[in-house]
Every structure is written in C-alpha cells, then in structure tokens.
Amino acid sequence: MALLSPPPRGSLGKSLGTLAPRTAQPFGSEGLNRRGSLQPKDPRSPKRSTLVALILASATLATLDQTPVLDPVRSIAGDVFGPAESAVSTVARPFTDIPGWFDSRDKLRGDIADLKTQNAELRRQLRATDFGRNRLEEYDGLTRSAETLGYTLVPARVVAYGEAQSFTRTVTIDAGTDAGVTADMTVVAADGLVGRVLRATRTSATVLLIADASSVVGGRVGSSMQVGFVHGTGGLSAQDGLDLELVDQSVAPVKGDTVVTWGDGQAAPYVAGVPIGKVTGVFASVRDSSRTVRVQPYVDFGALDVVGVVVPAGTKGDRAVIGPDGKLG
Amino acid sequence: MTQGGLRGAVVALLVVVALLLQVSVFDHVAWDGVVPDLVLLVVVAGALVSGGQFGMVLGFCAGVLLDVVPPADHTVGRWALALLLVGYVAGQVRPESGDQRGRPPAMTVVATVAGCSFVGTSVFALSGLLLHEDGAGTGSMLQVVGIGLVWDVLLTPLVLPWTMALLRRLQPERVRA
C-alpha cells in the first residue's frame, strides 16, 4: 500500500517539491512577457482600465458637443487663448515678414506700374458708363426695330458728318463691303429712316441722309394710304423737316399722321415699311395750287450714332447681323 | 511642489507653448495648409520618457485642449481620442532597448514619431468620417496625412531631444524592480 500512498509531505516533500517546475500563473504585480515567463509589470505601462476610461471620456465629450453644453468651455478657452495667440502672432510677425524683405525694388516698381494701369482703366470705364448705357439703349432699339421691320440689319456706327459747305448731307458709317454693305441699301436707325448708301469701300460707306436737298423718298401716309414723295430740305435740325408731296393733291393729310416708306418690299434703294416722320403741318402754295405737307422726321439727324443697314437675309460679313427676329446671328 | 506636480506643470506649459506656436506662427510656413503637429511631438516625448500611462493621460488632456481652443471648429473629443492613442502607442516603446540611461536610440525615436503621426492624423480623419464632419475625400486625406508625417519627422530633431531631456530630469525618482 505504500506504493499507492500520496506523495510524502514534510521536509522530504518540500525538497522534492522544489525540484518540480512551478506553474506560471501571473498574479498581482507580475505579468507574462512575450517568451511566456514571468516578469514584473512595469508600473509605467498603460493600464487597460485607464485606456477604456479615457476612450469612453472622448466619446462622451463628442456626444456632449452635439448639445450646447460645452459652449462655455469653448468661450473660456477662447478668452484665455485668444489674447495669447494675438500676442504670439505680434511677436512673430517681424520674423514671418522676412520673406517680404527680399522683394526687389524692381519688383515693387513693377507692381506699382501694374496697379496704376489697372486704376486708369477702371477710371476710364467708370467715366464711360453713362455713354455705354446710351449705346446699349440704342442697340436695343435697333434690334427692336429690326424685329418690327422684319429685315436683316447690319449694325454700324456713324463716324463722320459731311460738312455743310458742300451742300450735301452725308455721313460716313463704319461698315463696308466686308460687312456686306453695298451701294443703294437702306439705312435705318431705331427711330426711323436715315438714308441710303451712296457708295461703299471695304470698311466704310457713305450714306446720303434723307434730309439732303437732293434726296427723294417714296412715302405713304399711314391712315389714308395716300402715296407721295418726301424731299429733304437740306437742314439737319428738327425745325427744317422734310417736305411731302402727295401724288393726289386734292387730299389733305391729317396732322400727326405717320409717313412710312413706300416700296415693293425689298426693292432698292428704300425698302418698304420704314417710318420716316410725322405730319406737322400743311401749307398751301397759292402760286401753283399745290399743297406741301411738312413732315418732321423721327430720327434726330444731329445725334446719329448706331444705325443699321438693311441687307438681304443670310448676309455674312465681318460682324454679326441682326436677324428679322431681332436676334444676333 | 512635489516632483510629480512640477513635472505636470512643466508638461502643461510645454503643451500650451506648442499649441500657440502651432496655431499662430507655423501657419505662415504651412505647406499646402498642413502645419507640423507640435502638440503631438510633445505627447510622444512625454510618453517615451515616462511611459504609456503618463503618455495616455497627457495625450487626452492635450487633445481636449486642442479641441477647445480657437480656431478649432470640430467636435470636441476627436483630438482627445487621437492623442491618447498616440500616447498609448508611444508608450509601447520599451525603455530597455536604449542605452544605460534609458534613452532610446535616435532611429527608434524617429520611427516612433512617424508611426504616431500617422496614427494620430488617421484616427482624427477617421473620426471625422464617422461623425460626418469633414467633406474631404480619401485622396486629399491621405495627402494631408503624408505631408503631416513629413513635417513631424523633419521637426523631430528640433523638438524632441531637449524636451525628452527636460522631462527626464523632472522625472520622479522610482525604484526599478
């Protein structure tokens, strides 16, 4: 039975017990290292409980920040650190501005010249805005009249007036054969008829105004459809006006009637349907028993700026043409 | 003032100075908008010298400060989480791998800074994605993380040596087991 008895205790047992390997059970301030043997825990290493607590605290702060709870904290931090940040910025500014010291004087002079040019350009644009606004209104009027008339127009500007000593009333426009303008084309403005093209060069054309003494325009009185011929009187002011000589002398037009051009549509030199002026008075000449009707033109010949030349549809030139629907094409 | 208290005060002062420099001065030399993360460098220094427990707590407090001080505009707690993880990771560097006085070799320090910079900025960006805060795409986020890593590694020799020496001098005496 001694063989089955439990291992001997007592001093022999103790000495025998120390020979057996000790089971590695970490407890207390000891832990297992990578090789599996016991090693005292480093007190500086992070405790798991602290890690979890801090992560949870971060999550709590993130949740709290969705509400306005942390705003006082932010404002206090701002009150403390804002002046500190300004102070640090002020102290550091001489050092952070150092790259600016290396700007050469040539570069600075170049910058000044650029700024002066931009300034002058802006001032020029500012001065021209009133003028620009008027020009825009004239262009708008021209497109509207193109729409009303139903003709294709080439826009142009009046660049020169013929002098009165030559006894002809002509103007120069800045559209020529390059823009599709040729002789005997009608020239209109937003308000009404201006004249016809006498001759055209590549980039400009000469226009005979209807106020010229030698200009004759076929006209029709609006309300009665009576036809006649409108002669110019040679003067450009509104008082000079135009003279309408009706074919049927017995009919007297009513004051205020409109006179439009009379033609068979697209025939040169004057297309049909362009307003010329309105009747302001009827004068009877005793000498030859004919009536002269005074017509005041709609167009102010002293202030011509933007005009349009009626061209056949589909003309292509060096500029966009205003189509019969009023759109640029 | 006890040794531990003095160390705490000095560390707090270092964090405040790092934050002010990071926000007010280094933005003039920002590369593509990215400034070096000086607060992260201070946290890494603290964790390398005093261990992971101290580094974690330091990271959390510095992160809360970063979140609250203007011009920060994001949810409070994002930098806290990022920097406490940085402190934990930096604290895993074993001090016995260094020389007699417990200083880790220079390459270890640089590698630690690189890893912690990557971890910190990435955790911050990921938490932003989780909270649906930032609108930046993954590509620009990676670019920011990369530039931040380069900045931090560049500034390591300027910031870490004297910070670690200062903290080591202030370390409370402890009996090594």
Residues B115-127: tens digit of each pLDDT: 999 999 999 888 8
Nearest to A65 among B19, B76, B87 (CB): B76
The DSSP-derived string for B27-87 is GGG-BTTB---HHHHHHHHHHHHH-HHHHHHHHHHHHHHHHHSTT--S-TTHHHHHHHHHH
B71-101 pLDDT, tens per residue? 777 888 899 999 999 999 998 886 655 555 6
Confidence of residue B177 (pLDDT cuts 50, 70, 90): very low
- Omega into A269 within 30° of 0, i.e. cis? yes
* Chain B partners within 8 Å of A62 (Cβ): 75-78, 81, 127, 131
Residues 6+ apart with CB under 8 A from A207: A158, A170, A171, A172, A173, A187, A194, A195, A196, A197, A198, A307
Asked if A260 and A274 touch (Cβ cutoff 8 Å), the reply is yes
Return the half-sphere exposure (C-beta side, CA atoms, 13 A cut-off) of residue A167: 2
What pLDDT score does A167 carry?
A: 64
Q: Which of A103-112, A273-282, B91-100, B167-176 has the highest mean pLDDT?
A: A273-282
pLDDT at residue B43 is higher than 90: yes
Angle between helices B52-68 and A71-96 in degrees, nearest 10: 90
* Distance, CA of A285 to CA of A292 (rounded, Å): 7
B50–chain A Cβ distance below 8 A for any pair: yes
Is residue B51 less than 8 Å (CB to CB) from chain A? Answer: yes
Question: How many Cα neighbours within 13 Å face the side chain of A261?
Answer: 27
Residues A70 and B64 sit within 8 Å (Cβ to Cβ):
no
Provide the pLDDT for residue B129: 83
Average pLDDT over residues A10-20: 53
Q: Residue B174 pLDDT > 60, yes or no?
A: no
Can you give the pTM of this predicted structure? Answer: 0.52
Report the gap between the CA of A37 and the closest CA in chain B (Å): 16
Instruction: State the pLDDT at residue B136.
Output: 64
Residue A215: name the closest of A282, A261, A177 by CA: A261
Q: Give the per-residue pLDDT at A264.
A: 57
CB atoms under 10 Å from CB of A201, counted, come to: 12
* Closest by Cβ to A61, choosing from B16, B20, B80: B80
Quick check: A274 pLDDT over 60? yes
| pLDDT surpasses 50 at B175 | no
**More confidently predicted of A326 and B19:** B19
Q: Which residue of B has its CA nearest to A98?
A: B28
pLDDT at residue B114, as a whole number: 93
What are the tokens at A56? Answer: 């949870």
B165 touches chain A (CB under 8 A): no
Residue A40, pLDDT above cutoff 80: no
Contact A55 B84 (CB under 8 A): yes
Distance (Å, whole) CA B19 – CA B34:
14
pLDDT band at B1 (very low <50, low <70, confident <90, very high): low
Asked whether the beta carbons of residue B60 and residue A58 sit closer than 8 angstroms, the reply is: yes
Closest residue in chain B to residue A66, using alpha carbons only = B75
Is 70 exceeded by the pLDDT of residue A144?
Answer: yes
Which of B28, B39, B43, B57 best tests the A interface by mutation, with the highest count of A CBs <10 A?
A: B28
Tell me which of B59 and A233 has the higher pLDDT: B59
Contact B24 A88 (CB under 8 A): yes
What is the identity of the amino acid at A124?
Answer: R
Would you say residue A210 has pLDDT above 60? Answer: yes
Residues, chain B, total?
177
| Mean pLDDT value of segment B139-166 | 88
- Between A274 and A8, name the one with better pLDDT: A274
Of residues A89 and A30, the one with the higher pLDDT is A89
Tell me, yes or no, if B126 comes closer than 8 A to chain A by beta carbon.
no
| CB-CB neighbours of A288 under 10 Å | 6
Sign of CA dihedral A162, A164, A170, A171: positive
Q: Is pLDDT above 70 for A209?
A: yes
Answer yes or no: is pLDDT of A148 > 90: no
CB contact under 8 A, A55 and B81: yes
Is there a contact between B25 and A96 if contact means CB atoms under 8 Å apart? yes
**Is residue A188 predicted with pLDDT exceeding 70?**
yes
Interface confidence (ipTM) of the complex: 0.84
Cβ neighbours around B8 below 10 Å, total: 17
| Comparison of pLDDT for B133 and A137, the residue scoring more | A137
- Which residue in chain B has the smallest CA separation from A96? B28
Which residues in chain B are closer than 8 Å to A50, comparing Cβ atoms? 53, 56-57
Of A228, A231, A293, nearest in space to A256 by CA: A293
